[in-house]
Each structure stands twice: as C-alpha cells, then as structure tokens.
Structure 1
Amino acid sequence: MTETTKNNKNAHTKPIPERENLPEHYKWRLEDLFETIEDWGKAISELENLIKQMESYKGKIKESPKKLLECLNLADEIGQKSDRILVYAHMKSHEDTRKAEAQSNAYKATALFVQAQKACSFITPEILQMGEEKINQYIKSEKGLAIYDFFLKDILRRRAHTLGASEEYLLAGAGEIAQGPENIFSSLTNADIEFPPVTDSSGETIPLSEERFSTFLTSKDRTLRKNAFCALFSTYGKYKNTLSATYNSAIRGTLFFARARKFNSTLEASLFNDAIPLSVYHQLISHVNDHLEYLHEYVSLKKKALNLEKIHMYDMYVNIAEEPYEDIPFEEAQKIVLEALRPLGKEYLRLVEEGFSSRWIDVYENKGKRGGAYCWGCYGAHPYVLLNYNGKLKDVFTLAHEMGHAIHQAYTNSTQPYVYSGHSIFVAEVASIVNEILLNLALTQKASTKEEKKYFLHVMTEQIRTTVFRQTLFAEFELAVHQMSQRGEIPSHETFCSLWMDLNKKYYGQNIELDPILSFEWSRIPHFYSPFYVYQYATGFAAALNIVNLIVAEGEKAQKAYIQFLKSGKSDYPINLLKKVGIDMVNGKPVKETMEFFSEKLKKLEELLNSK
C-alpha cells in the first residue's frame, strides 16, 4: 500500500454535502435497473398484468405436469419483476430519505411486492395437496420441471408448517403490515432523529451523525469519543418509549407468524426456512460463553495498552497503535482490496474490477442518505453496494466486505436459475467475511514496523470481538426478549435496558466501566427488526476463517471449491453447501477454533506490547 496524504483538517469538520454536489462517478447507476421513473411505472403495469394471469392457475396445477411448469415459470417471472421494482424504489429512497415522493414510491413498491406474493400464495398449498408421489411422477414426465426438483422437495419438507390456500393468502397480505415496525424505525432513525454537534479536545464543534459516530469511536481523541458516545446514546434515550413500542411490535409480529405456522418458537420459525438446526444457535452462545475469559483478557490488555486508569465502552473501538494510513482516497481503497483478493483467482478479480468501473457503488455520505452499508440487487442485473465512505481503513474493510456480497450475488445470478438465485444470510456473510480476513492477512504481511504489526493484529482481534463476541451478545439478547414475548410478556424499555447491561457485564467482565447510558444501545440496532439475523455474523466469521485457512493451506483446490460455493445460491441448504467446502457448522468445531484463534492472536499482541 502506498501512503496517502494526511489532511491537516479532519474530514468530519466539513459539512455533510447535498447529493447533487457529489460527482456522478461516485454514485451508483440505478439507470441500469430503470432508465427513468416512467419506465419503473411501466414495469408496475406489466407486473399487475402478470399477477392477473396467475389467477387462472388457481386449482389447476394438479391437472398436468405442463400446467405446473407454466405456473412455476410465471411465478418466477412475477418474482423477478417484483424484485426489480422493489429494489429500485427502495435504493432510490435511500439516496435521500427526506424526499417524500421517493419514500412514497418505496411504500408503493412494498405493497405491490406483497400483492405479488399473495397472488402466488396458493402454489405451495396446492403442491402439498398433490403429495410426494405425484410430484415425483410429474418431475419424471416433464423435463422442464427438473430444474425445480430441489424447490419442490423443499416445499414438501415444509408440509407441517404450511397452511391452506386461503390462510396462506391472508398471511401473505399481512406481510405489508408486518414491515411497519421496521419502516417506522428506519424513518425515525434515518430521517427524523437529529444528533447534537459534539466538541473535540481542542474545543472545535463537529457535526454528529450515525455514520460519523462509528468513525469518532476510533479516534485517538478521547474527548471526542466520549462526547460522541454520550450525545448519540442520550439522543436515543429520548426516544426510548417510541423505540421500545416499535421493537415490541416487531417481536409480536414475529410471534404471530410463528404461531400461525405451528412452530414451537420464533427461533425455530426463523431457522426452519434454511433448515438450520436449533443446536447451531444454542451452541454458538454456549461456546462463546465458555470462552468469555478471552474477552475479559482482551479488555485488560487494551486498558493496559491505552494506558487508562478506567476503560469505557467508547475506548474499546480505538486501535492500540497508530493508524498507518489516513484519508485514503476511494481509488486507493479499490487498489488495496484488489491486491488483497488475489488468492481468490483472476475470474474473481475481474468481477471486482467490473464493479468498481461500472458504478455498482454509491460511495459517499450525503444529507438524508441511509446510514450504514449494504449490498442489494435483483436477478438479471448487476448487484449494487451502498457505502458511506470516510477514508479510514475501516471503510476499506467495509468495501471489501460489501464486494464479497456483490461478487457472491454476481456469481450466483450468472450460474443459477432465478428459483435458486438468492442466498441464505447464513452463507451470505461467509462471502463477505472471507474478503475481510484476506484483506487483514495481506495488510499484515506488508507491515514492516512493530507499530504496523500491532495495528493490524488489533484489527483482527477487534473484528472477532465485534463480529463474534458482540454479535453473539446480540443473539443472546434477542433470544431472551423473544422468549419473554412467547411467555406473554411485553418488555418495557426498562427491561430492555436492564437486560442489555447485564449481558454487557457478563461479556466484558469487571475491568470495564459500563456507563449507564450504554443501556440504550439496543434501541439503535436495525438488524433486530430481522429476527435472529445477527447470530449469522458470528457463525459466518467462524466459517469464513476456516475457509481462508483451507485456501492458504491447499491453494487452488480450496479456491475452486470456494468459487463453486459462491455459484451455488440456494440450490441446497446452507449447512450442506458449507460441508462441500469442508466446513461442518453442526459440530461446533469452527466456532471453537475461532475462539482458540482469538486466544493465539491475543498472545501475539501481548508479546508485541511487552517487547522493546
């Protein structure tokens, strides 16, 4: 990596720009989905006609293999069009969440997406009525149905949790209502909540946003870290009743759907779709809890390295060494990522370069832009990546992470039919974290000084803290509050706050000072509105670490197996896809090995700190 120029003035003292003031080549090209909003409107009309056509297949698919095939093909066409309409509208609204028309279009697209699901909701119940023997006969007699073999057999697996056609229609219609809590949370936290400016150690006033908060927490300026921490969490605390009610609504909605489908718990309902054994979730929490002394050691080591009498949560994110490079231009970040991903092969690198040069990425923060980072897209079009790039090394890691998702999607969409084009989150996070680990390895190998080695070693240990320990804490919190709901309780904000603090005390131990204001942190976690999502970051890291180890040890053989994994989409269950790469998540071994890997890195970090 070549060293970049350091700006005298911190980039975060600058005002957040309006979107129109950003250069076009730093904005994603949504025109690749629809050239104009009028074209989007025409697609809606086309979709509405297809939905009407679907009506003619109700009660008819059992008549012949040909009818079933025609119906499934039409369902795929409806799915592709509704996906594209939805993705475009929501990504357009994310460009500036203040724009009412864009928000209205996003809601309209969601409503139409639900309508499309309702139109197709009779298919599964009717297939189940046909039974396994008849389905197998149809597959044998109609060549076109061969492509749907796994899809049809998975429907049969769901028999016990699938309702009749009329009930499925009602549940599909309730989907729009069920998205209400998440939509409210998003609007409140992205568009309505305003954070007060904060001051740094020199007394300079700096604007605060969710995006800037994460960067401020890594600042060497402890005054800035503390003030940002207090300002952000105290602001969320002002909305504690609203956010508590919103989250409770989301939890109750999840419980409604779980009970409607005759699941014993919301956890079982969430894991059932991808055939993830419940033991995987519980083992993760158990294995991490068994190794919490490693996290306690890490807190003590960090406290010592930072030379602090007391260490607070706002100190946990700052690196114990000086960042080797600052204010990294986005073009430089692209070069760094490409170099790091060489072990994945020329074909993989070519796809990454295409993403960089073809405006797949929306790079910089602007006023009203949705916070965070994500990769999204639809079948038949290239993937898209939303960033809020700030020029820090952590932003380079975010770029590598999201491009992992993007290339996973690109590989799958070019290989699989639409019916298997999606990804379970369980395996999607593997693709992104493999890239992060490879980036860390590449930067560590280039490190020439003790300070640089300390820095990148800390990056790895910190990634395990935040991706494995922290996300498992989230998973334990989530399990507890859903269990409360199943018992008929409606947790108050006091309950949420108390549980959050208890878990943080358990995970981080006695050597950290937990400020009372930390208790509001649960209220700002968007992933809680996707139930039992976050544990997959931890399992994904464990799987990814083991895959990287295989690629390093076996070279081309493991690389090819991994690329095949990226091309597999939903053609098999996630647990089986990982087994084909040599990773068994059911026995818990990858999580245990991750814990030991963390311990080894801690020892190396301590050796560096103690060496002269």
Structure 2
Amino acid sequence: MSKRLTRSEVSLEQTWDLHELFDSNEAWEKEFAQIEDDIQEVVQYQGRLGEGSSILVACLNAYEKLQMRMVRVSTYGYLRASEDGTNQLYQANLSQVSAIVARVNAAASFIQSELLQLPEGTIKGFLEKEEELDTYRSYLLELQDQMPYQLSQETETVLASLGEVLESPFMIYSRSKSSDMEFDPILNENGEELPVSLSLYETRYEQSSDTDERRLAYASYAKTLNQYKNTFAATYATEVKKQVVMSRLRNYDSVEHMLLQPQQVTKEMYENILDIIQTELAPHMRRYIDLKKRVLGLDKMLLCDLKAPIDPEYNPEVTFEEAATHVLEALEVMGPEYMDAMRTAIEDRWVDYADTVGKRSGAFCSSPYGVHPYILMTWSGKMRSTFTLAHELGHAGHFVFANRYQRIHNTRPSKYFIEAPSTLNEMLLSQSLLAKTKDVRARRSVLVQVLGTYYHNFVTHLLEAEMQRRVYRHAEAGKPITASVLCELKGNVLGDFWGDSVEIDEGARLTWIRQPHYYMGLYPYTYAAGLTASTAVAQTIQKEGQPAAERWLEVLKAGGTKEPLELMKMAGIDMSSPEPIRQAVAYVGSLVDELEASFKSEGQ
C-alpha cells in the first residue's frame, strides 16, 4: 500500500464540490462578517413578542433567514475541517464558526424565554389569529412542553453565550482525534511497511482477511488509543458532567430524561430498544461469531476479528462506480423523483470518498438547507463501502425531500427517526443483490454485509448506548469518571453481550475512545430504532412494491412536522409496541440460520 495522499494529490471526482456553498474562503469570510452585522435584524424584536401575533411572525421570519445563512456558513466550516483536520486555516475557521453560533444563539435566546413567559393561552390565541404562524405550529407547541424546565431569561442568555465553551469537549475530542493521533506502521508478510490511520483501520484493516495484518493493525491502533486515554477520559468526563449539571439545573429526573424530551421519545421506548435487542440478539450474534471462529480456524476471537470476512477467498474488489450502479439499481422501486436525487448525488460530486491525510474517520451526510447534501466517507474498495454509500445516500435523499417540501424550521425530525431512511436504503440494496443470484457464495457475501449493518446498528451503536446509560448513572451517583473507570465499564458492556464468544482484551476496553457519538447526546440508540423501523418498511416494500414506496416518500417529505411515532405510523410501523423490535431481531436470526446452512452445504 502506498502512502496516504493529500487533498491536492487525488482526483477531483473523488472529492466533494463545495462551490454551491461558497466559491472561496474569501466569500465565506465576507458572509461570516455580514452575519455578525445582521444579528440585529432579530434582536430588534427583543422584549416585544407579547405585543401581538404580527410581531411574533416578523421575529420568527427574521430568525429563519438568519438561520438559513448560518447553516451555509457553519456547514462550509465543518466540511472543510472534516476533509482535512491538519489544515490550520480550516481549524481556525471552525473555531470562528463555533464562536458565531454561540453569539447568534445567545442573541436569539430571548425568543424562547419570552414565549415561555407569556400568559397561558397567548400562543394558542396567536396561532388562531395569524395564519402565517401556522408554519411554526410544531415549534411553538413543542416549546410549551419545555416550559417546566425553562430557566430565567437572564440565565438562558448566559448559557447560550457560553455555547462555544459548553461544546468544547466535542471540539477537543474531534481535533485531537483527527490531527494529533499518530499510529505506528505495520509490516506485511513481505516485510513492506503499511501505514495505519483511523480511517484505514476502520475501512481496511478491521475487514482484512489476513489475520496477522488485522491483529497487528489492532495492536497499533490500541497502542495509540492507550497513549491518549487519560486526555480523552478527561474530555469525556467534562461532557458528562455538563449534561448532569444541566439536567439538575432544569429539574429533569435524569440526564436521559433531559435528552429524550426533545426527541419526543418516552423512557419506555428508549429502554425497549436497549433491553430487548441486547437480551434477544446476543444469542444470534454469538452463534454468528462462533461460526466465524470455526470457519476461519481462529485460536480465539478478539474484537478486531469480528468484522473479518467469513469467506475470505470470496471478497471481490468493488470500485466506487460499480457500487453506485448496484445502489441505483436497488433504489429504482422508490420512483423517478427519488432516483433523480440519487443520480445527481453521484454525478455532481456530492460524495467525498478519497482517503487523504487529515480526513475525518467514519462517514456522515451533512444537509445544508437551500443547497444539497454532502457525504463524507473513505472508500475501502470492498462491498462494505457499497452499503455505507447506500446508507449515506439514504440520509441525503431524506433531506433532499424534507428541505424541498418544508421550511427550514420544519425539516429535521426526531433523532429517533433519523436513521430509518438511511438503513432502509441498505435493506433495499440487500434485497436487490439477493434477488439477482442463487449462487451460494454470492448470497453468502450479501448476507454477511446485511449482518454487518445489523452489527453496526444493533451491536456497535447499541452497546455505545448501553455504555452511555451506565456512564450517566455512574456520574449521577457522584462517582468519578476516569480512564480506568471508562475502560472497566466498556469491558463490562462488551462482556455482558458477547459472553465467552469474544475475548475482551485491553484494546477492546479502550474502544470508548473510538466513536464521537458519546458527545452527541442520546444518539447511538437511535441507530437501532431506525433500523428496527426500516427492517419492517423494507419487508413491506418487498411485498407491496410501489404503493409502499410512495408512502415512504410522503414520510420523507413530512420532514419534522410530525413526532417520530406519527412518522413511523405513516409507514405502517407502530414503534410504541415492542413487537417490531422482536421481529427485527428474529430477522437477524434468520440471516444467521441461512449463513450457517450455506457452510453446512459445503461440509464445513
């Protein structure tokens, strides 16, 4: 493997085109400065929101325009820093973004405070009187739900002005992880030196069929994580303490209660996902891992072996172009309007997939209002990346429609729903690929990828969510959070799920450092919630075809105008019941059954 390339050394086709956001850094700086001057367009309404519905409409419209501009400015800064965290200009720009977001939030904090202090029935009266306020109905009604937890206007303003400071744990984590961490290279069987990076470990080495290479990379990865564990523990502890303090200041029952409230999710819905999947999925996943250990002839199963290909001789290379073709063919059932967005995303450089120095690890889709989505990922050349592409295109498709049919304040649904559109695309891809072949090994390859999706959402992220639950309860009990505590908690979470099937070594205990999701509130469990819903929707589309797909498009177009339970009910799924969760887990069991049968047919 050659050395990692810089941004300037890869072809433009492998990178995203940010010109629709800003033509240049100079244009970005000009707009940034102008926003500073235009904050007054919103502040002029401070102290006046109770004067009448027309004043409230004018204020909210002014704030909406400012938000649309802020989204473009902040997205540009974030995407530039994500593509190259070593670039000092991009780091400085991102710091500026954090600062201006905090200033805008502080300046506009009076809106929420004043509205919550209006006499009971005032907002309802405004809604009845002013037709133009109807677009803000969901926001205004949700705001009333927050009334019991609202602090004084002065306190809310102070907290908003400290936004940059309060978000600093994630900034420190992201910057250190992307630009400061260095990993020892490893040697292959020919004595050639191979580089190791966060992106390479996650997209190449974890999925390597070479056990020595995979475990050497894991050792390099764990060694560097260990060197940073105390710094990252202090950073994460600060984030957790912030959440504990904020929940108590606002008189929530717990941190979980505070973080679930804006998601419009009950504690029961949250705990159903965590408890049912962990309890009922573990036996299926242990069967899968025991099968992998036996087939591969491994002496033991380490965490780094979990993603190793179970049929290493059948692991064909896949180019980005080939993957795009597979994905587009799978999504044809969604109809022409959806497909137009998908083809445009591929052809017009919405996707940044090059592996370059300083690039953020993992994958994400950013969807700035008024432009179009942008996808970041690192291409591995394997089928797993095909599923990642389908996943991120699912996010992109979601917000193409939400942004097209809703105003900015109505585009984003609850986090509980957010992973359903992305994982649905993965399910449709798997259905398409399986329908094309009866070849045992080809089907097995697809089954492994689908199980990879469930592993990602039902295991990796769900166990992150379980880790969060334990960390928050640990902190709320007044116990200290240190590197050794976090390693112990992570080891226990992994051990409880995997039992004797996986050896939980020190490298595994360090993996709490790996994911940024711990800094994003109760986000990890929503991956499992979304995949539970998309499993059911995909099966419905497989049975009904176009009618079910059309219902799903209406769900996407609704954006954030409905609560997550309502959105899922539009698609025919009742997530207030544990039944869809159990059905999704049972489906995973059926995948393992077919995989086991495929090896028995070959006498293995």
Q: TM-score range by the shorter chain?
A: over 0.9
Q: How far 1:490 moved relative to its partner?
A: 1.8
* Residue of 92, 115, 121 corresponding to 1:133: 121
**Aligned mates of 2:118, 2:278 — CA distance in 1:** 47
Aligned: 1:147 with 2:135: yes
- Greater mean deviation of Cα atoms: 405-414 or 163-172: 163-172
Match of 1:123 among 111, 120, 144: 111
1:132 Cα deviation after fit:
4.5
Q: Among residues 448, 455, 460, which one is paired with 1:465 in the alignment?
A: 455
Task: State the secondary structure of the residue aligned to 1:375.
Answer: strand
| Alpha-carbon displacement from aligned partner over 1:30-78 (angstroms, at most 9, x marks no partner) | 1101112222122123322321222221110111111010001011111
Give the letter aligned to residue 136 of structure 2: Y
Determine the structure 2 residue equivalent to 1:248. Answer: 237
Tell me the distance in 2 between the aligned counterparts of 1:226 and 1:525.
20
Structure 1 position 70 matched with structure 2 position 51: no
2:166 matches 1:167: no
CA contact (8 A) 1:320 1:454 kept: no
Q: Please tell me whether residue 578 in structure 1 is matched to residue 568 in structure 2.
A: yes
For residues 132 and 341 of structure 1, do their structure 2 counterparts lie closer, same or farther at Cα, with a shift above 3 Å needed? farther
| 1:360 paired residue number | 350
Does 1:452 pair with 2:433? no
Distance 2:162 2:294 in 1: 53
Which residue is equivalent to 1:373?
363
Alignment partner, residue 6 of structure 1: none
Q: What does residue 47 of structure 1 align with?
A: 35
Residue 177 of structure 2 is aligned to residue 200 of structure 1: no
1:337 Cα deviation from its structure 2 partner: 1.0
Structure 2: distance between partners of 1:127 and 1:307:
65
Q: Deviations over 1:291-312 (max 9, x none)?
A: 1222222222222222234222
Q: Does 1:439 align with 2:412?
A: no
Percent identity between the two aligned chains: 28
Q: Once the 2 structures are TM-superposed, how far is the Cα of residue 326 of structure 1 from its aligned partner?
A: 3.2
Q: Which residue of 1 aligns with 2:165?
A: 177
> Which runs of structure 1 show a deviation greater than 3 angstroms over 4 or more consecutive aligned residues?
322-327
**Letter of the aligned partner of 2:350 in structure 1?**
W
Q: Which residue of 1 aligns with 2:474?
A: 484
Aligned mates of 1:40, 1:602 — CA distance in 2: 51
Q: Does 1:387 align with 2:377?
A: yes
- Aligned residue for 1:263, secondary structure, equals coil
Q: Does 1:542 align with 2:495?
A: no
Counterpart amino acid of residue 373 in structure 1: A
1:226 partner letter: R
In the alignment, is the contact (CA less than 8 A) between 1:83 and 1:113 conserved in 2? no
TM-fit CA distance, 1:193:
0.6
**How many residue pairs are counted as aligned between the two chains?**
600
Q: Distance in 2 between matches of 1:236 and 1:426?
A: 30
The amino acid of 2:458's aligned partner reads V
Instruction: Please say which of residues 49-58 and 106-115 is displaced more in the overlay.
Output: 49-58
Q: Measure, in 1, the Cα distance between the counterparts of 2:448 and 2:355.
A: 27
Q: Which moved more, 1:521-530 or 1:461-470?
A: 461-470
Alignment partners' CA distance in 2, 1:366 and 1:25: 14
Task: State whether structure 2 residue 77 is matched by structure 1 residue 89.
Answer: yes
Q: Which residue of 2 aligns with 1:30?
A: 18
Aligned 8 A contact 1:322 1:455 in 2:
no
Task: Pick one of 173, 188, 197 that aligns with 1:209.
Answer: 197
- Trace 1:241-280 onto structure 2 (pairs within 5 A): 241-280=230-269
Return closer, same or farther for 1:369/1:516 CA change in 2, 3 Å cut-off.
closer
**Aligned pairs for 1:457-536 within 5 A:** 457-536=447-526
Q: Secondary structure at the match of 2:395?
A: helix
Structure 1 partner of 2:210: 221
1:56 has 2:44 as partner: yes
CA distance in 2, matches of 1:289, 1:407: 30
Distance change (3 Å), C-alpha of 1:323 and 1:34: farther
> In the alignment, which residue of structure 2 is the partner of 1:299?
289
The match for 2:310 is 320
- Do 1:328 and 1:391's aligned partners in 2 also have CA atoms closer than 8 Å? yes
Deviations 1:123-155 (A, max 9, x none): 112112224522222222222112112221111
Map Cα deviations across residues 327-357 of structure 1 (whole Å, 9 max, x no partner): 3222222111101111211211111011112
In structure 1, give the amino acid aligned to 2:247: A
Residue type matched to 2:424 in 1?
Answer: V
- 1:465, 1:27 → 2: CA distance? 28
Deviates more, 1:323-332 or 1:279-288: 323-332
For residues 393 and 42 of structure 2, the distance between their equivalents in structure 1, rounded to whole angstroms, comes to 36
1:529, distance to aligned residue in structure 2 (A)? 1.2
2:365 is paired with a residue whose SS is strand
Deviations 1:354-384 (A, max 9, x none): 1112221112011112222111031111111
- The normalised TM-score by structure 1 is 0.95
Residue aligned with 1:412, SS = helix
Contact 1:404 1:435 in 2 (8 A): yes
Cα drift, residue 479 of structure 1:
0.6
Q: Which residue of structure 1 aligns with residue 222 of structure 2?
A: 233
| Deviation, structure 1 residue 244 | 0.8
Structure 1 residue matching 2:543: 3-state secondary structure: helix
TM-score under structure 2 length normalisation? 0.96
| C-alpha distance in structure 1 between counterparts of 2:110 and 2:526, whole Å | 31
Q: What residue is the counterpart of 2:95 in the other structure?
A: 107
Structure-1 separation of matches of 2:81 and 2:322: 29
SS in 2 for 1:84: helix
User: Which of residues 332, 336, 340 in structure 1 aligns to 2:330?
Assistant: 340
CA distance in structure 2 between the partners assigned to 1:563 and 1:139 by the alignment = 29
- The alignment's C-alpha RMSD in Å is 1.5
CA distance in 1 between partners of 2:38 and 2:137 (Å): 24
8 Å CA contact 2:405–2:557 kept in 1: the answer is yes
1:21 aligns with 2:9: yes
Letter in structure 2 aligned against 1:389: W
| Deviation for aligned residue 1:463 | 2.3
Q: Are the equivalent residues in 1 in contact too, given 2:383–2:449 (CA < 8 A)? A: no
Unaligned runs of 5+ in 2: none
Tell me if the contact between 2:196 and 2:217 (Cα under 8 Å) persists in the aligned partners. Answer: yes
Q: Deviations over 1:198-247 (max 9, x none)?
A: 12334332101111112111111100011011110121011111111111
Written as runs of structure 1 = structure 2, the 5 A alignment for 1:6-17 is 13-17=1-5
Alpha carbons 2:262, 2:414 under 8 Å: kept: no
Name whichever of 310-319 and 153-162 sits farther off.
310-319
Distance in 2 (CA, whole Å) between partners of 1:553 and 1:264 is: 44
